Structure 1
């Protein structure tokens, strides 16, 4: 065999370098050219753009209408709630503000209370009522019930000649005893009615204020009629820090 000459070796190495430097192309891959859209395709794309823009416009309009509808619905709801509240206050409850000092310290001047119009009247309950022969309304405590004989003697409440404890006057009675005074001056139904009655008439109630020395009550305007009682005071709701149930 003939030995390869230097020239042959050089040419071979050049060929190899040229082959190595040639960019390799992947088999089966071709560069895709972007085809310009045809007229029908361009028209379709235009229609899609128009639809999208109209949809966004509709969404904005619907959003405006929804805000208006929400405002209307809110206003109607508020009116209905206020109407129901006013109707309920005429049928089921009242929220009067108390004026005066005849019920202190149980109910003070300026206190607002919750009155249940449907609650049954019982002894020692606070009632909200129309004052006889007056346009005023007041709050007092029920002491005597229809058909009972009621009297006070030496600060002792007597119902049908039986002593009854008034726990709500415990502090006032203690102070009065220390000062040798009376919380409630002696009286009887016979005295209040100028000798005409011994017992509380049917459908009538004897009411007294807790602050006996400063209270205008049944000792002055007589027994109150059942039909004049608006309701039973259940809770002091204002001021909030003085919230309490009766």
Structure 2
């Protein structure tokens, strides 16, 4: 009996600790590895970041989402990290290096001028829907429950321009870069740009 109590005095705290860790990972945040160069220069390939599950998604938030079913080439359990440009109900367009959301030019100071111009191209949601074949091509508006996302390294990013909108149910969380892993500017470009 004494041995059983001693064993239980170890097992119970371990089980409680594991349950708390599981709850935090399931409901609060998870650690994610950036895969590929699509978010450079702000996030690097293989960089580890946190995805906060309860954060509100805003314009220019960087999110992690399950790409399977969004991008036709994505395999199961494939997460993408991209920047939210358009929220539900928004119009989005790109012209001469500037992105417009609801006809207002957005701040793109987080990427280089070359990525803003040659990397992004000229388009509207309506033209992308028609040329890429992922929408009706009639509304030119981000649908309810969806997001329009772009990578920061626009010239190499596989993003909403090619396969369409991200469903809100596919979002894992909003990315936050820990203070110890990056430069102050890169952290600000990820953590502080959202509006």
The verdict on a shared fold, with TM-score over 0.5 as the criterion, is: yes
Q: Output the aligned Cα RMSD.
A: 2.3
Q: What TM-score, normalized by structure 2, do the two folds share?
A: 0.78
User: Mind listing any 5+ residue stretches in structure 1 that lack a counterpart?
Assistant: 1-64
Q: Match for residue 196 of structure 1? A: 138
8 Å CA contact 1:111–1:236 kept in 2: the answer is no
Which of 86, 92, 104 is matched with 1:144 structurally?
86
Which of 126, 133, 152 is matched with 1:210 structurally?
152
Q: Match for residue 52 of structure 1? A: none
Which of 94, 111, 116 is matched with 2:52 structurally?
116
Higher helix fraction (1 or 2):
1
Q: What TM-score, normalized by structure 1, do the two folds share?
A: 0.63
Q: How many residues align?
A: 171
8 Å CA contact 2:118–2:155 kept in 1: the answer is no
Higher relative contact order (Cα pairs below 8 Å, separated by 6+ residues): 2
Over alpha carbons, which structure has the higher Rg? 1
Separation in 1, partners of 2:155, 2:8: 56
CA 230–241 in structure 1, closer or farther in 2 if over 3 Å, else same: closer
Deviation digits for residues 118-174 of structure 1 (CA, Å, limit 9, x no counterpart): 1110000111111114422111000111111110001011122222221212xx11x
User: Mind listing any 5+ residue stretches in structure 2 that lack a counterpart?
Assistant: 131-136
